[in-house]
Amino acid sequence: MLFERVKSLDHILESARTRGLKRQLGAFDLTMLGIGAIIGTGIFVLTSVAADKAGPGMMFSFVIAGFVCALAALVYSEIAAMVPVAGSAYTYSYAVFGELAAWMVGWALILEYAVAAAAVAVGWSGYINGFLHEIGYGLPLALTAGPYDFIVLTTETETGTTAGTTTAGGFNLLAFLISLFVTLLLIMGTSKSARFTAILVIVKIVALSAFIILALPAVNAANFEPMLPKGWGTPLSGVGVLGAAASIFFAYIGFDAVSTAAEETTNPNRNVPIGLIGSLTICTVFYLVVAYAAVGAVGAQPGAELSLSKEPLAFVLREVGYPAVGNWVASAAIVALPSVVLMMIYGQTRVLFTMSHDGLMPKFFSHVHKRFHTPHVVTLVTGIAVAFFAAMFPVGMLADVSNSGTLFAFFMVALGVMILRRREPDRHRPFKTPMIWIVGPLAMAGCALLFISLGWNTIRLFLYWALTGLIVYFAYARKHSHLGKQQTGSG
């Protein structure tokens, strides 16, 4: 039987007490970690991707993606407060649906966290490579992008700078190196990582605030016409407002990484919901104002300069007469984006750490460092994998693939919370999702809509990944499952 292996919530909570992770994070730490995970490549880099897919209509894309994430955050808060342990959606699925579904969710979370970390590292490398080029210390072009990415070679003409030929990269060296640096930082300790992230969060908020203050006065209503040059989009097309929303969804993911820190949080029943909802609320407000200012200041028609820029916010400020501040915003992105890489790798290691404790991943993944009290082996393995992903693939492709795994996990969490309301109505819930029978189905429908709006190429990659996950489960994980051994009496 495939669906007989279900863990009770009480068993999950009891086993978490034996894992050796130290509770040291408070509500402020979690909120800073959440903001650190959310504000990053999505707003600093993928704004141009959204502009190319939807034009000024990307304003609606930000609203749609933010709305879906808000629904997911409300659902996540309920179950994260009930089950304050590492593992995120994987752990929750184990309790509700059983081992096979939990494995598939955990497998999908590799796309959400590890691939997302690589995407952010690539976005960061675009800023730092541009900065080094400006000061005359640029790396060879072959070391600024991966072999599946492309480099636009521009030529100066009498009419200005125009896009010329494109060429494939070779190895994105700086994306590779920043991933390894963040990995070493995470091995050194969670509290150190939290303080580092808090500093970088402040840098990002100041940079976005400066952008808003300077760009808002330059808003011109004419730049919003036509509002929907590519329409709302159709399923599987990957363009239009829905296609842009599916891509820009990447700008919001990361808030659920707060739930993976539940096992290292003081008073998690109170602090996890605060961290989840607080970080997402702050980021959503910033995103909507930044998107409005960017579109209104310079326009965002597909094929226009904003849609082609790899540093769109800095580009906008230069266009409205603040080149020095634009360069400073680019510098802020260079300094701050590593915090997002940190939180994505952090979330991935805690999921794999939990899966290892369940026997579904190799045992050495759950080893905890005696001095730093962190799962150092799985952190190192994850960091090396992220580094190579970042060195090889382009940011847009990585972001969309990451979104596919995230949307699948969010869908399963929303369904699981509703099932638990029916199955265990009397269980203590420190936080209850308001209007769950409206919020839950809306969250599921929103996730499904954005998933099919990613485009067929991304969906196909997700299906290949899911098929690989099934093969690995039946070839290794199912045989080594601790719960399976307990039920058969062979453990």
Contact 355, 104 (CB under 8 A): no
Instruction: Please report the pLDDT score of residue 391 as a whole number.
Output: 93
Q: What type of residue is 12?
A: I
**Domain holding 383: CATH number?**
1.20.1740.10
- How large is the average pLDDT for residues 201-214? 89
Confidence of residue 20 (pLDDT cuts 50, 70, 90): low
Contact 40, 335 (CB under 8 A): no
- How large is the average pLDDT for residues 14-22? 61
What is the per-residue burial (b if ≥16 Cβ within 10 Å, else e) of 138-150? eeeeebbbbeebe
Least confident range from 4-8, 58-62, 206-210: namely: 4-8
Instruction: Please report the pLDDT score of residue 96 as a whole number.
Output: 86
Contact 349, 472 (CB under 8 A): no
Instruction: Please report the pLDDT score of residue 263 as a whole number.
Output: 64
Contact 473, 103 (CB under 8 A): yes
Least confident range from 20-24, 199-203, 206-210, 343-347: namely: 20-24
Instruction: Give a yes or no: residue 3 inside a domain.
Output: no
In which element (H, E) is residue 161 found?
strand 160-168
Give the domain extent around 294.
9-485
15 has pLDDT over 70: no
- How large is the average pLDDT for residues 462-482? 93
477 has pLDDT over 70: yes
CA distances 183 to 2, 87, 116, 250, 259, Å, are: 36, 19, 14, 21, 20
- How large is the average pLDDT for residues 191-211? 77
Confidence of residue 180 (pLDDT cuts 50, 70, 90): very high
Instruction: Give a yes or no: residue 31 inside a domain.
Output: yes
Instruction: Give a yes or no: residue 2 inside a domain.
Output: no
Instruction: Give a yes or no: residue 305 inside a domain.
Output: yes
Return the percent helix, strand and coil in the chain, to nearest 5: 70, 5, 25
Least confident range from 18-32, 295-309, 448-462: namely: 18-32
| Six token digits for residue 239 | 């363009």
407 has pLDDT over 50: yes
What is the per-residue burial (b if ≥16 Cβ within 10 Å, else e) of 420-440? bbeeeeeeebbbebeebeebb
Task: Note the pLDDT tens digit of each residue in 115-164.
Answer: 989 998 998 888 888 778 777 888 888 888 888 876 666 555 555 544 45
Q: What type of residue is 161?
A: T
Q: What type of residue is 267?
A: N
Confidence of residue 324 (pLDDT cuts 50, 70, 90): confident
CB count within 10 Å of CB 445 equals: 14
Instruction: Please report the pLDDT score of residue 231 as a whole number.
Output: 87
Contact 39, 399 (CB under 8 A): no
Instruction: Please report the pLDDT score of residue 121 as a whole number.
Output: 93
- How large is the average pLDDT for residues 306-325? 83
In which element (H, E) is residue 151 found?
strand 150-157
Instruction: Please report the pLDDT score of residue 163 as a whole number.
Output: 46
Instruction: Give a yes or no: residue 490 inside a domain.
Output: no
| Six token digits for residue 108 | 């999908």
- How large is the average pLDDT for residues 320-331? 87
Instruction: Give a yes or no: residue 388 inside a domain.
Output: yes
Instruction: Give a yes or no: residue 4 inside a domain.
Output: no
Instruction: Please report the pLDDT score of residue 1 as a whole number.
Output: 45
Domain count, the chain: 1
Contact 55, 229 (CB under 8 A): yes
Of 210, 268, 237, nearest in space to 86 by CA: 268
Residues 6 or more apart in contact with residue 229 via CB below 8 angstroms: 54, 55, 56, 57, 301, 302
Least confident range from 61-70, 173-182, 187-196, 352-361: namely: 187-196
pTM of the model: 0.83
Please state, in angstroms and rounded to a whole number, the distance separating the CA atoms of residues 413 and 105.
9
What share of the chain has pLDDT > 70, as a percent? Answer: 87
Please state, in angstroms and rounded to a whole number, the distance separating the CA atoms of residues 98 and 95.
6
Contact 219, 297 (CB under 8 A): yes
32 has pLDDT over 70: yes
| Pairwise pLDDT comparison (69 vs 192), residue with the higher score | 69
Least confident range from 34-43, 309-318, 326-335, 445-454: namely: 34-43
- How large is the average pLDDT for residues 346-369? 86
365 has pLDDT over 90: no
Backbone angles phi, psi at 155, to 5 degrees: -125, 145
Please state, in angstroms and rounded to a whole number, the distance separating the CA atoms of residues 236 and 468.
22
- How large is the average pLDDT for residues 356-382? 86
